[in-house]
Structure 1
Amino acid sequence: MRKKVTIVGAGNVGATAAHWIAAKELADVVLIDVIEGVPQGKALDLSQAMPIEKRDCSIVGTNDYADTANSDIVVITAGIARKPGMSRDDLLNTNFKIMSEVVEKVVKASPNTILIIVSNPLDAMAQTAFKKAGLPRERVIGMAGVLDSARFRTFIAEELKVSVENVTAFVLGGHGDTMVPLSRYSTMAGIPITELIEPTRLKELETRTANGGAEIVKHLKTGSAYYAPSAAAVEMVEAILKDKKKILPCAAYLQGEYGISGLYVGVPCKLGAKGLEQIIEIKLTAEEQTALNKSAEAVRELCTVIGVA
């Protein structure tokens, strides 16, 4: 019996995530949205690509949460998208209401599911989902670090003129301007990038990473990033469905790790069949810990505003 993944939100991120999942033949997909016709049309279109791609996946579009029942994983992308000049924080109250409603419905239909949260502002929405779902922290995970580290890896590979496959990078903290790119733990074919890129230039790459989403919004003018965010979510889906025990930077609910409690913050996580199976704690310098604490406080402020701190 094939695995089942529900994607809530049939916009660019959700529909593209469905595309990646089907292209990798990872699971059957249910694409759900409040707008009638959109998930049905996109699912039908994607289904008709399967014979060409030689992939056997069922892709269903719906407006009814009954169709999402017994999903192994639910990826939540629902919410309004960021527009030019709009900060992630501006999205807060609207997306809080949407997330609260969605989580209640998906957990009722799939009480044993694992939730992957993609909606912005990411960390606050993951915290909202955790509080509303009543699930253990292992089964509510935020997608942020995979995307942020992919952006950092892209910029490092371009700078060094090497394959992106040679570059590893870690980004900690909240998904936003206060994120903490860890250059000290980032490598090119095992060589620390701190030995290959001079500090001033490295700082520029870190800043560009932190502003990665805003840079794309500025170019697009009428939308936000979706290829990389959806691919990042699907990397998490694949790690869980295939029980890979893969170490990925994700937003997880901390209970004392890194000196932070009661908050979703981006940290290195081991993902497997049970969802979040371990939080990897790495030694930080005093400067890095201070930056992480600052990032966590920015997340806490948002969570306090919507009453989920």
Structure 2
Amino acid sequence: MTHPKIAVIGCGAIGTTLAYTLLLRHPHLEISLVNRNPQKAWAKAFDMSHCSPELPNRAIRAETPEECAGSDIIIMTAGALPRENGTRADVLKDNVAIFQTLLPTLARNNPDAVLINITNPVDAMAYAAGKITGYPPERVIGSGTELDSMRLRHFTAQTLDLNAAELDIQVIGEHGDSMVPLWSLATYQGKSLTEAYPSLNEDLKATLLHQTKRAGWDIRLAGEHSCYGIAFSAVRIVESILGRSEQPVRVSAELQSEFGLPHSFISLPATLNRTGIIQRTLPDLSDTEYQLVMHSANLVQQQLDMVGQLL
């Protein structure tokens, strides 16, 4: 029996955490680790392979971009890190150059793969990946605001003393400072969150959103790298693609003026399968939320223009 193959490109904190999470949650997958330093990829795969006696039909190995063929999903985590107190866009030029080195070979050897980009700036780099590989738009997605939605749920539940698993708050738009929380649609145990908790006023919403935007930087300022949350959110995207979850995920993809929004590359709720995105929806937004999404799309489009100049 042939099992789905996942190629994880980059063996830094995110790539290795992602591979290990997949290893534990889905032991029937094949996982390939690719890194610019082949010895590092070998060491990580070798270490994880020692779990195999307790995990059925496990195959995890290190491969080069040339060897990495037949993948169903390619996950890009390789790239330069944003500078302290900078923005995700600061590293756009460096990361486009890295993608231009890696992706042509990967695309040639994996012509039918779905590509998930995690490298920052997520939305613009996913767009760059699509241009470099020539993959159709439905097969190139960014990890988007799935992580931001998880973070906002966590901070809100922590502040209001709620069970985060029963809290639904979506974040859409850019994975960045212009992200848009959909407070008008937020629910707890199926009931309107804002109606049930009057203490959730505009000041508190702003504080919670600020925490969400700064979460990754706060981890960096503590001398560490954000890896667990993003790895877990990426696993949720993989599970959606493989049909292991029917829940929509907030991933970014190219927007061709749908929903009255401008051309851009932003996150909306999406349904996925082995061919990539099969449906995207725009939630029933308030007028203010719609204008914020429009603003977010326009800001991301400026990054896409920069990508066009670099390519």
TM-score range normalised by the length of the shorter chain? over 0.9
**C-alpha contact 1:96 1:128 (8 A) present in aligned 2:** yes
Give the equivalent residue in structure 1 for 2:194.
194
Is residue 14 of structure 1 aligned with residue 15 of structure 2? Answer: yes
Q: Within 5 A, what are the aligned runs for 1:266-285? A: 266-285=267-286
Q: Within 5 A, what are the aligned runs for 1:4-83? A: 4-24=5-25, 25-51=27-53, 53-62=54-63, 64-83=64-83
Give the equivalent residue in structure 2 for 1:183.
183
**C-alpha contact 2:271 2:279 (8 A) present in aligned 1:** yes
Between the aligned partners of 2:22 and 2:123, the Cα distance in structure 1 is 24
Look up the equivalent residue of 2:37 and give its one-letter code.
I
- What is the CA-CA distance between 1:243 and the residue it aligns to? 5.7
Number of residue pairs the alignment of both structures matches: 305
**C-alpha contact 2:28 2:57 (8 A) present in aligned 1:** no
**C-alpha contact 1:243 1:271 (8 A) present in aligned 2:** no
**C-alpha contact 1:171 1:249 (8 A) present in aligned 2:** yes
Q: Secondary structure at the match of 1:211?
A: helix
Q: Paired residue for 1:216, among 213, 219, 227?
A: 219
Q: Secondary structure at the match of 1:79?
A: coil
Between the aligned partners of 1:193 and 1:212, the Cα distance in structure 2 is 23
Q: Secondary structure at the match of 2:185?
A: strand
TM-score, normalisation: structure 1: 0.93
Look up the equivalent residue of 1:212 and give its one-letter code.
A
- What is the CA-CA distance between 1:55 and the residue it aligns to? 4.2
Between the aligned partners of 1:218 and 1:90, the Cα distance in structure 2 is 17
Give the equivalent residue in structure 2 for 1:230.
231
Between the aligned partners of 2:37 and 2:270, the Cα distance in structure 1 is 34
- Could you list the runs of 5+ residues in structure 1 that have no partner in the other structure? none
Look up the equivalent residue of 1:30 and give its one-letter code.
S
C-alpha root-mean-square deviation of aligned residues, in Å? 1.7
Q: Secondary structure at the match of 1:10?
A: coil
Give the equivalent residue in structure 2 for 1:157.
157
Look up the equivalent residue of 1:133 and give its one-letter code.
T
**C-alpha contact 2:6 2:73 (8 A) present in aligned 1:** yes
**C-alpha contact 2:113 2:139 (8 A) present in aligned 1:** yes
- What is the CA-CA distance between 1:208 and the residue it aligns to? 1.4
Look up the equivalent residue of 2:249 and give its one-letter code.
L
Between the aligned partners of 1:192 and 1:272, the Cα distance in structure 2 is 30
- What is the CA-CA distance between 1:216 and the residue it aligns to? 1.8
- What is the CA-CA distance between 1:156 and the residue it aligns to? 1.5
- What is the CA-CA distance between 1:91 and the residue it aligns to? 0.8
Give CA-to-partner distance per residue, 1:71-97, whole Å, 9 cap, x none.
Answer: 000000110122422321111100111
Task: Name the structure where strand makes up a greater proportion of residues.
Answer: 1
Look up the equivalent residue of 1:165 and give its one-letter code.
A
TM-score, normalisation: structure 2: 0.93
Give CA-to-partner distance per residue, 1:86-118, whole Å, 9 cap, x none.
Answer: 321111100111122222121111000000010
Between the aligned partners of 1:66 and 1:146, the Cα distance in structure 2 is 31
Give the equivalent residue in structure 1 for 2:264.
263
Q: Structure 1 vs Structure 2: percent identity of aligned residues?
A: 30
Look up the equivalent residue of 2:188 and give its one-letter code.
M
Give the equivalent residue in structure 2 for 1:126.
126
- What is the CA-CA distance between 1:37 and the residue it aligns to? 0.6
**C-alpha contact 1:246 1:271 (8 A) present in aligned 2:** no
* Greater mean alpha carbon deviation, residues 253-262 or residues 10-19: 253-262
**C-alpha contact 1:127 1:263 (8 A) present in aligned 2:** no
Q: Secondary structure at the match of 1:252?
A: strand
* Greater mean alpha carbon deviation, residues 4-13 or residues 96-105: 96-105
Q: Secondary structure at the match of 1:56?
A: coil
- What is the CA-CA distance between 1:203 and the residue it aligns to? 2.1
**C-alpha contact 2:144 2:266 (8 A) present in aligned 1:** no
Give the equivalent residue in structure 2 for 1:140.
140
**C-alpha contact 2:152 2:209 (8 A) present in aligned 1:** yes
Between the aligned partners of 1:194 and 1:179, the Cα distance in structure 2 is 19
- What is the CA-CA distance between 1:242 and the residue it aligns to? 2.3
